[in-house]
Structure 1
Amino acid sequence: MLRPVLPLLLLAVASPLWARDSLGVFGQWGAFAEPERQRCYAIATADESRARRDFQPYASVGTWPRRNVRSQVHFRLSRELAERANVRLAIGGARFDLIAGEGDAWATSASEDAAIVTAMRAAGRMSIRATDNRGNRFSDYYNLDGAATAIDAANVGCTRRE
């Protein structure tokens, strides 16, 4: 069963409506352009959970053509992280250790971004595991239905705006 895309759309329009252009909703993922910031991105919220959440978790894949940055992954985690927390992303059989901030995580390099996006294109689900600032392990889960199309739409959307 597909979950509603309303949380995704609410997340995407959290700032003023005129700041984002919708490039489409594809499965569980949406694609948006921010002409003012000269970036485009694909984004999805994590699966619903009854577990404690400090933040609304989401995954995004962003492109900034004028900075020559393409398909950079970013994860907003559901909880504030422990200091020096290990954050691990699992996509199919692939595992990636991520760089972590207080409640965010990123790939370690541009080549790791590319490997993560490649894995996302081939899998149906992904999960992120970490330890929160209270010492508890937690996981955020994502449906990857539509991720590849949304990533492509974001990349094409920014190419057309250059």
Structure 2
Amino acid sequence: MRISRAGGDDLAGLGRLLWLDAVGEEPSPESVDAFTSDLERWWAGHRQSHVAFVARVAEPVIVGMAWVALLPRVPRPGATQRLSADVQSVFVLPEHRGRGIGSALVEAAAEHAAQLGALRVTVQSGRRAVPVYERLGFAPSRQLLQRTVTR
């Protein structure tokens, strides 16, 4: 297994994994190709704030991904370069799960954020993945609150 930072040439593989991860949860685009075109446009505008990591078992196929969104925080006296990070869209193809690929991807994303000086790394997880994130050092926080937007 090899974990690396994704580049522009990985967009087709990332698009495929994002599309597979969303099937059955959200309205699907007409095709993976149509979604990948949308992802390419999005990527062009978000390369500074969102970094993807990919896992490969055999070249060139991407079998897993994890994204980290980097959010500059309001400066404070003595701390003008504050940064938070959020791990997002972790997905490993079902036939490759249970081998530590997802954990390695999350570690790569979190380490990248830490190297950039992130004060904290958060993740929103499905119930089944909570034990995995806890093993990786994530813990619930009473101070991190959220409000669901109603439309």
- Decide which structure has greater helix share: 2
- Decide which structure has greater strand share: 1
Larger radius of gyration: 2
> With structure 2 as the length reference, what TM-score do the two structures score?
0.30
